[in-house]
């Protein structure tokens, strides 16, 4: 009974608080313009302070009830609560002073006014922040002024600058927003509802009444259930402040449905197009599998390197908007060792390479194994035989190899089978046999062999 | 465009000055376009013309070149690819009102009293492992459907040939915009010092809807980016030969001096068109040897001619042009545009389409196979299609064995193959009457955005400022069709 009544009175607090504010301001204006010898005026003023005192006493009593229901952040309540109480005390003292017939003291009353106004502002501001949110004052400012103030209320996520392979769903995505929105009330000291969310195991366990997380069942997990129920429901979490965003609840749901593992890496969401979009949108994290090219981190090539390449009869083209990865094409008639040696300087930068119909010999192939990042190699129509092919064995990233119009035979299949990244090999117009191809295809179905129509 | 004669003591014409200094936003847009190469050129607008160096891509490309087999006049999707048994079932009945709705028809059939549905006379079957539907009109192509990606839900804005072709080739129905090949040449530059980046091959002796050079025009881009038409016969490129009595040496000498004069002129007034002109002179000179070489098919073995079909031995046929396209692709020409006219079949469609399909079928399949065995299909995109579709009702009298079909912009089919495209898939669908799209519409601009994407270009970023606004191939729309990307 008392609990219900106090709850009701507590909810009247935001209404009642405006009364003492009005009284105190009016009284101070009177006092300012009053003639100190006029007794009637003096009585009015001391009456004003009395009203202020009484109304603020009621307001703070109601406020105490409201603060007691546990739905506000202790840290915010503290300042609001004690500055409010100080205000009540000061009003009382002023009233006592005014109603005794002590002589007025201008200095004292000025000093007192400053303190009263300061307390009023502080109390009012913290009260306002609790009901309307932290930035209730600035949020509707014209944009220009906001910019001048420095718009620092926008949370900047730092995870977008990290390598996606090092990110974990709970630690990097979920924990930060739970910390932000829930842990003020659910921590080691303040375990509202018996729930401590700062320790992962306790978070999973839950509070006094409900299970925190039921693996693979979001709606049986109070952590999730409480944030997606109707906001009018008194169990809705967080009880005050800004609720979780749609995206945040989605991530929470996905993670729980995936088994709520502490060590779940972000990249395990790769298959899910929806969550990919969401992460991109929310954190600017792109978890899509990157083409090999984009994963390469290389130094920019200098103008000199490129001029040098051109002098060695290589035509180049960048394969991204950075001056790093190269598509190289030999445009001379007859390639030499010197031409090939020039590749050494940029060996990591060459990703595609064409040396077509340029008299590339088996021996000259010896320069190719250095080009570790090659993914596409076109060396068709050259005098290459089985002797040259083994040089390619260590090119783990090579996925496309064009050897059509060379003199290789079935013996080279052995080398192809050892090339880790190989997906396609072009062997039209070589000396490989139908039987050899069929055997290889049966053994290595993931490598496509093209021998012509 | 650049009239500098009355400013001979100034380095820039008024217009050049305005567009190139910070006053002109054009300078900014070019600047952003070329930032990757800033390190390699002393001047931004010289860079613009120096197409040897890389300015783009915005991201790693899948395709290095495109062969676009344009079927001018609009092939009937309902007789080739888009199988609609319902039309045969209801042969001769009126198209339901609810299907046509308030949509506009062309003046050629809008006045008809009756719109009888015409089911295709040709047999449809599913082919390959992918089970793609095709009629028996293109048996060779049907054999390679597992290499192809069909889009059955293409649609366009224009209902007549000229605007529709201009739209699909330049991104706008109005003439004057650069064509796809010109944008690519402008954006990506050249991979080949001896041949133009953008070559046009037109089947010889075909009639039908006219082909205007605006379709391969450079619009407002510098003129070296226009498509160069290679013709069958002895003068492959017009006016490329030296005039009678002028030897190659004399020609070279001449060009050297001309070049010097133009250098002076350029240093004086700085008009970029001078550089364009110079580079074209030089290109023309190199083409005097490179073009006859590439046009010469005598080195091709017999089995290659067999692959493309016997027409391929006759210069100027679609088949010979396909073979030529492969040779140009081997030489790293970036955009190879073929045109084959005569698909505009308003009447006697069944008879005409048989011939037309025969002209293109084996060569199309042959080209794709040939590219594949050489490994070229890995980095070459092949596109086959027209400017719009054809109606499901007969234009003119419907007979049991004869009908015509009018223009139909609301759905048509194209197919693609090669670099970066999923194999053996069909995207989109039309309703059971083959009239409206029911699944995944793909607008012409979406197609263009996808094509650019495959070449490593963000279609929204490749822009050119002209007459006060920035233009791009896809105008103000277009979304990459991610579903078909491999």
pLDDT tens for each residue of B71-85: 999 999 999 999 999
Report d(CA A41, CA B236) in Å as an integer.
Answer: 110
Q: Which of B425, B351, B373, B349 is nearest to B148 (CA)?
A: B425
CA angle, residues A424, A430, A436, in degrees to nearest 5: 70
- Nearest by CB to residue B369, choosing from A376, A404, A453, is A453
Identify the helix (H) or strand (E) that includes residue B68: strand B65-71
Looking at the complex, does the CB of residue B482 fall below 8 Å from at least one CB of chain A?
A: no
B52: left (phi over 0), alpha (psi -120 to 50) or beta: alpha
Q: Contact at 8 Å (CB) between A339 and A312? A: yes
B399 and B443 share a domain?
yes
Q: Nearest chain A Cα to B32, which residue? A: A321
Looking at the complex, does the CB of residue B59 fall below 8 Å from at least one CB of chain A?
A: yes
Q: How far is B421 from chain A (nearest CA, A)?
A: 15
- At residue A19, does pLDDT exceed 90? yes
Q: What is the mean pLDDT of residues B24-30?
A: 40
Task: Indicate the pLDDT class of residue A1, thresholds 50, 70 and 90.
Answer: low
Task: Indicate the pLDDT class of residue B234, thresholds 50, 70 and 90.
Answer: confident
Residue B154 located in a structural domain: yes
Residue B60 located in a structural domain: no
Tens digit of pLDDT for each residue in B279-326?
Answer: 888 888 889 889 988 888 989 999 999 999 999 999 999 999 999 999
With an 8 Å Cβ cutoff, are A450 and B373 in contact? yes
Tens digit of pLDDT for each residue in B250-265?
Answer: 988 988 899 899 989 8
Q: Contact at 8 Å (CB) between A90 and A257? A: no
With an 8 Å Cβ cutoff, are A404 and B375 in contact? yes
Interface of B with A in 345-384 (CB under 8 A): 369, 372-375, 378-379
- Nearest by CB to residue B374, choosing from A317, A319, A428, is A428
Which chain B residues are within 8 Å of A451, Cβ to Cβ? 373
Q: Which of A101, A428, A140, A211 is nearest to B377 (CA)?
A: A428
Report d(CA A164, CA A267) in Å as an integer.
Answer: 7
With an 8 Å Cβ cutoff, are A316 and B373 in contact? no
Q: Which of A215, A224, A277, A266 is nearest to A249 (CA)?
A: A224
Q: How far is A271 from chain B (nearest CA, A)?
A: 15
With an 8 Å Cβ cutoff, are A306 and B40 in contact? yes
B211 and B246 share a domain?
no
Tens digit of pLDDT for each residue in A179-196?
Answer: 989 998 898 888 889 999
Domain boundary among B252, B273, B296: B296
Q: Contact at 8 Å (CB) between A279 and B153? A: no
Q: What is the mean pLDDT of residues B266-282?
A: 83
Beta bridge partners of B466: B469
Q: How far is B483 from chain A (nearest CA, A)?
A: 12
Q: Nearest chain B Cα to A376, which residue? A: B378
B216 and B277 share a domain?
no
B189 and B336 share a domain?
yes
Whichever domain contains B96, its CATH number is 3.40.720
Which chain A residues are within 8 Å of B332, Cβ to Cβ? 329
Q: Which of A345, A323, A427, A419 is nearest to A384 (CA)?
A: A427
CA distances from A169 to A105, A175, A204, A264, A387 (A): 65, 9, 15, 6, 50
- Nearest by CB to residue B60, choosing from A294, A426, A428, is A294
* pLDDT given for residue B277 in this prediction: 83
Task: Indicate the pLDDT class of residue B41, thresholds 50, 70 and 90.
Answer: very low
- Tell me how far the alpha carbon of residue B261 is from its chain's centroid: 37
Tens digit of pLDDT for each residue in A110-142?
Answer: 888 889 999 999 898 888 877 776 666 776 777
Looking at the complex, does the CB of residue B410 fall below 8 Å from at least one CB of chain A?
A: no
Report d(CA A395, CA A417) in Å as an integer.
Answer: 12
- Residues 6 or more apart from B295 whose CB is under 8 A from it? B230, B236, B324
Which chain B residues are within 8 Å of A322, Cβ to Cβ? 36
Range of the domain at B239: 235-296
- Nearest by CB to residue A303, choosing from B39, B58, B379, is B39
With an 8 Å Cβ cutoff, are A318 and B59 in contact? no
Report d(CA B348, CA A378) in Å as an integer.
Answer: 49
Report d(CA B88, CA B406) in Å as an integer.
Answer: 18
Q: Nearest chain A Cα to B55, which residue? A: A321
- Nearest by CB to residue B307, choosing from A306, A327, A453, is A453
* pLDDT given for residue A148 in this prediction: 64
String of b and e for A97-115 (b: at least 16 CB within 10 Å)? bbeeeeeeeeeebeebeee
Residue B53 located in a structural domain: no
Tens digit of pLDDT for each residue in A210-269?
Answer: 999 999 999 999 999 999 999 999 899 998 888 999 989 999 999 999 899 998 888 887
The model's pTM: 0.71
B212 and B184 share a domain?
yes
Domain boundary among B274, B296, B318: B296
Q: What is the pLDDT of chain A when averaged over all its residues? A: 87
Greater model confidence, B99 or B38 = B99
With an 8 Å Cβ cutoff, are A320 and B60 in contact? yes
Looking at the complex, does the CB of residue B316 fall below 8 Å from at least one CB of chain A?
A: no
B124 and B263 share a domain?
no
Q: Contact at 8 Å (CB) between A378 and B374? A: no
With an 8 Å Cβ cutoff, are B57 and A293 in contact? no
B257 and B370 share a domain?
no
Q: A18-33 vs A106-132: helix axis angle to the nearest 10?
A: 160
Helix, coil or strand: residue B436: coil
Q: How far is B480 from chain A (nearest CA, A)?
A: 16
With an 8 Å Cβ cutoff, are B60 and A293 in contact? yes
Residue B10 located in a structural domain: no
B349 and B444 share a domain?
yes
Q: What is the number of alpha carbons within 13 Å of residue A290 lying toward its C-beta? A: 15
Greater model confidence, B44 or A62 = A62
Report d(CA B30, CA B21) in Å as an integer.
Answer: 11
Q: How far is B349 from chain A (nearest CA, A)?
A: 33
B355 and B411 share a domain?
yes
Which chain B residues are within 8 Å of A327, Cβ to Cβ? 64
CA distances from A247 to A174, A176, B73 (A): 11, 14, 49
Tens digit of pLDDT for each residue in A31-59?
Answer: 888 877 778 888 888 899 999 999 999 99
Q: How far is A380 from chain B (nearest CA, A)?
A: 9
With an 8 Å Cβ cutoff, are A317 and B307 in contact? no
Looking at the complex, does the CB of residue B420 fall below 8 Å from at least one CB of chain A?
A: no
Residue B112 located in a structural domain: yes
How many Cβ atoms sit within 10 Å of the Cβ of residue A224?
A: 24
Report d(CA A416, CA A439) in Å as an integer.
Answer: 13
With an 8 Å Cβ cutoff, are A404 and B372 in contact? no
With an 8 Å Cβ cutoff, are A319 and B57 in contact? yes
CA angle, residues A380, A386, A387, in degrees to nearest 5: 110
Looking at the complex, does the CB of residue B36 fall below 8 Å from at least one CB of chain A?
A: yes
With an 8 Å Cβ cutoff, are B374 and A424 in contact? no
ipTM of the complex: 0.85
Looking at the complex, does the CB of residue B307 fall below 8 Å from at least one CB of chain A?
A: yes
Interface with chain A: mutation pick from B50, B372, B373, B457, highest number of A CBs within 10 Å: B373
Domain count, chain B: 2
Which chain A residues are within 8 Å of B61, Cβ to Cβ? 319
Residue B275 located in a structural domain: yes
- At residue A331, does pLDDT exceed 90? yes
Q: Nearest chain B Cα to A325, which residue? A: B60
Q: Which residues of A touch B (CB under 8 A)?
A: 291, 293-294, 303, 306, 315-323, 325, 327, 329, 331, 376, 378, 380, 400, 402, 404, 424, 426, 428, 450-453
**Residue A348 CB-density burial (10 A; 0-12 exposed, 13-18 middle, 19+ buried):** middle
B376 and B453 share a domain?
yes
Q: Nearest chain A Cα to B33, which residue? A: A321
- Nearest by CB to residue A321, choosing from B36, B332, B373, is B36
Residue B18 located in a structural domain: no
- Nearest by CB to residue B375, choosing from A322, A327, A426, is A426
Q: How far is B475 from chain A (nearest CA, A)?
A: 23
Which chain A residues are within 8 Å of B39, Cβ to Cβ? 303, 323
Which chain B residues are within 8 Å of A316, Cβ to Cβ? 54
Tens digit of pLDDT for each residue in B181-197?
Answer: 999 999 998 888 889 99
B272 and B126 share a domain?
no
With an 8 Å Cβ cutoff, are B375 and A450 in contact? yes
Q: What's the per-residue H, E or C state across chain A? A: CHHHHHHHHHHCHHHHCHHHHHHHHHHHHHHHHCCCCCHHHHHHHHHHHHHHHHHHHHHHHHHHHHHHCCCCCHHHHHHHHHHHHHHHHHHHHHHHHHHCCCCCCHHHHHHHHHHHHHHHHHHHHHHHHHHHCCCCCCCCCCHHHHHHHCCCCCCCCCHHHCCHHHCEHHHHHHHHHHHHHCCCCECCCCEHHHCCCCCHHHHHHECCCCECCCCCCHHHCHHHHHHHCCCCCCCCCCCCCCCCCHHHHHHHHHHHHCCCCCCCEHHHHCCCHHHHHHHHHHHCCCCCCCCHHHHCCCCCCCHHHHHHHHHCCEEEEECCCCCCCEEEEECCCCCCHHHHHHHHHHCCCEEEEECCCCCCECHHHHHHHHCCCCCEEECCCCECCCCCHHHHCCCCCCCEEECCCCCCCHHHHHHHHHCCCCCEEECCCCCCCHHHHHHHHHHCCCCEEECCC
B121 and B207 share a domain?
yes
Q: What is the pLDDT of chain B when averaged over all its residues? A: 88
Report d(CA A290, CA B415) in Å as an integer.
Answer: 27
Residue B19 located in a structural domain: no
Q: Contact at 8 Å (CB) between B87 and B118? A: yes
- At residue A103, does pLDDT exceed 90? no
Q: How far is A333 from chain B (nearest CA, A)?
A: 14
Residue A168 phi, psi (nearest 5): -115, 145
- Nearest by CB to residue B57, choosing from A316, A321, A453, is A321
Tens digit of pLDDT for each residue in B424-483?
Answer: 999 999 999 999 999 999 999 999 999 999 999 999 999 998 888 889 999 999 999 999
With an 8 Å Cβ cutoff, are A380 and B36 in contact? no
Task: Indicate the pLDDT class of residue A146, thresholds 50, 70 and 90.
Answer: low
Report d(CA A115, CA A117) in Å as an integer.
Answer: 5
Looking at the complex, does the CB of residue B40 fall below 8 Å from at least one CB of chain A?
A: yes
CA distances from A423 to A442, A450, A453, B241 (A): 14, 11, 19, 46
Looking at the complex, does the CB of residue B301 fall below 8 Å from at least one CB of chain A?
A: no
């Amino acid at each position: 009974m008392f609990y219900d009544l106090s709850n009701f009175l507590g909810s009247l607090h935001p209404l009642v608080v405006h009364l003492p504010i009005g009284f105190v301001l009016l009284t101070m204006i009177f006092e300012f313009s009053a003639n100190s010898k006029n007794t009637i005026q003096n009585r009015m003023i001391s009456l004003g302070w009395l009203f202020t005192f009484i109304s603020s006493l009621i307001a703070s009593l109601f406020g105490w009830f409201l603060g007691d229901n546990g739905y506000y952040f202790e840290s915010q309540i503290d300042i609001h609560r004690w500055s409010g109480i100080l205000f009540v005390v000061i009003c009382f003292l002023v009233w006592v002073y005014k109603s005794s017939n002590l002589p007025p003291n201008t200095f004292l009353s000025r000093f007192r006014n400053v303190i009263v106004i300061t307390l009023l502002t502080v109390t009012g501001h913290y009260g306002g922040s609790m009901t309307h949110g932290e930035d209730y004052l600035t949020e509707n400012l014209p944009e220009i002024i906001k910019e001048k103030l420095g718009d620092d209320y926008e949370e900047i996520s730092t995870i977008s600058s990290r390598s996606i392979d090092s990110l974990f769903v709970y630690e990097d995505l979920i924990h930060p927003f739970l910390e932000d929105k829930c842990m003020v009330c659910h921590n080691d000291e303040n375990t509202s509802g018996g729930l401590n969310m700062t320790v992962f195991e306790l978070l999973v366990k839950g509070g006094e009444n409900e299970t925190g997380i039921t693996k693979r069942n979001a709606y049986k997990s109070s952590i999730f259930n409480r944030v997606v129920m109707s906001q009018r429901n008194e169990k809705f979490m967080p009880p005050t402040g800004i609720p979780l965003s749609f995206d945040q609840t989605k991530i929470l749901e996905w993670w729980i449905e995936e088994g709520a593992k502490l060590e779940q890496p972000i990249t395990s969401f790769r298959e899910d197009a929806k969550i990919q979009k969401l992460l991109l949108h929310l954190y600017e994290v792109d978890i899509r599998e990157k083409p090999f090219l984009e994963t390469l981190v290389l130094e920019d090539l200098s103008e000199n390197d490129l001029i040098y390449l051109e002098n060695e009869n290589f035509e180049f083209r960048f394969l991204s908007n950075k001056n790093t990865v190269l598509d190289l094409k030999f445009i001379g008639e007859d390639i030499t060792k010197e031409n090939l040696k020039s590749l050494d300087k940029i060996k990591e930068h060459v990703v595609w390479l064409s040396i077509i119909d340029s008299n590339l010999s088996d021996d000259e192939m010896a320069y190719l194994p250095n080009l570790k990042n090659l993914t596409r190699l076109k060396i068709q129509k050259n005098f290459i035989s089985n002797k040259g092919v083994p040089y390619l064995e260590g090119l783990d990233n090579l996925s496309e190899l064009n050897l059509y119009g060379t003199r290789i035979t079935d013996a080279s299949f052995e080398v192809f089978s050892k090339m880790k990244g190989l997906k396609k090999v072009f062997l039209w117009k070589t000396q490989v046999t139908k039987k050899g191809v069929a055997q290889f295809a049966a053994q290595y179905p993931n490598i496509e062999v093209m021998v012509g129509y | 465009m650049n009239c500098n004669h009355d400013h001979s003591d100034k380095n820039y014409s008024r217009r050049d000055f305005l567009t190139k200094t910070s006053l002109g936003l054009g300078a900014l847009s070019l600047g952003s376009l070329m930032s990757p190469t800033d390190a390699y050129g002393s001047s931004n607008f010289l860079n613009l013309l120096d197409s040897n160096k890389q300015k783009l891509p915005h991201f790693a490309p899948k395709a290095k070149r495109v062969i676009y087999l344009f079927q001018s006049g609009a092939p009937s999707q309902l007789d080739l690819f888009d199988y609609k048994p319902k039309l045969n079932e209801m042969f001769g009945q009126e198209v339901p009102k609810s299907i046509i709705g308030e949509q506009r028809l062309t003046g050629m059939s809008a006045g008809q009293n009756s719109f009888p549905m015409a089911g295709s006379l040709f047999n449809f079957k599913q082919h390959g492992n992918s089970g793609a539907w095709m009629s028996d009109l293109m048996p060779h192509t049907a054999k390679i459907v597992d290499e192809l990606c069909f889009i059955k839900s293409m649609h366009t804005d224009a209902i007549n040939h000229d605007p529709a072709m201009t739209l699909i080739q330049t991104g706008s129905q109005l003439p004057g915009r650069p064509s796809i090949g010109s944008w690519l040449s402008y954006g990506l530059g050249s991979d080949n010092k001896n041949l133009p980046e953008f070559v046009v091959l037109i089947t010889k002796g075909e009639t039908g809807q006219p082909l205007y050079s605006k379709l391969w025009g450079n619009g407002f881009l510098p003129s070296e980016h226009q498509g160069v038409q290679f013709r069958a016969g002895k003068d492959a490129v017009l006016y490329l030969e030296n005039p009678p009595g002028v030897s190659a040496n004399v020609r070279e000498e001449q060009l050297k001096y001309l070049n010097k004069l133009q250098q002076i002129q350029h240093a004086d007034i700085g008009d970029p068109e001078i550089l364009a002109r110079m580079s074209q002179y030089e290109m023309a000179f190199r083409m005097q040897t490179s073009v006859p070489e590439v046009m010469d098919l005598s080195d091709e073995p017999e089995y290659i001619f067999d692959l493309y079909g016997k027409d391929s031995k006759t210069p100027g046929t679609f088949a010979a042009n396909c073979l030529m396209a492969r040779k140009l692709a081997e030489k790293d020409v970036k955009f190879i545009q073929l045109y084959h006219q005569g698909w505009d079949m308003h009447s006697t469609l069944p008879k005409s389409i048989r011939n037309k399909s025969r002209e293109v079928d084996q060569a199309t399949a042959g080209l794709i196979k040939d590219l594949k065995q050489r490994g070229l299909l890995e980095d070459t995109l092949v596109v086959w299609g027209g400017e719009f579709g054809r109606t499901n009702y007969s234009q003119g009298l419907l007979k049991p064995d004869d009908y015509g079909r009018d223009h139909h912009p609301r759905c048509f089919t194209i197919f693609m193959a090669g670099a970066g495209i999923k194999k053996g898939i069909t995207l989109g669908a039309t309703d059971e009457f083959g009239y409206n799209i029911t699944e995944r519409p793909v607008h012409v601009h979406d197609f263009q955005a996808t094509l650019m994407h495959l070449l490593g270009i963000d279609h929204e970023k490749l822009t050119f400022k002209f007459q006060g606004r920035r233009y791009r191939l896809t105008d103000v729309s277009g979304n990459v069709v991610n579903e078909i990307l491999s």
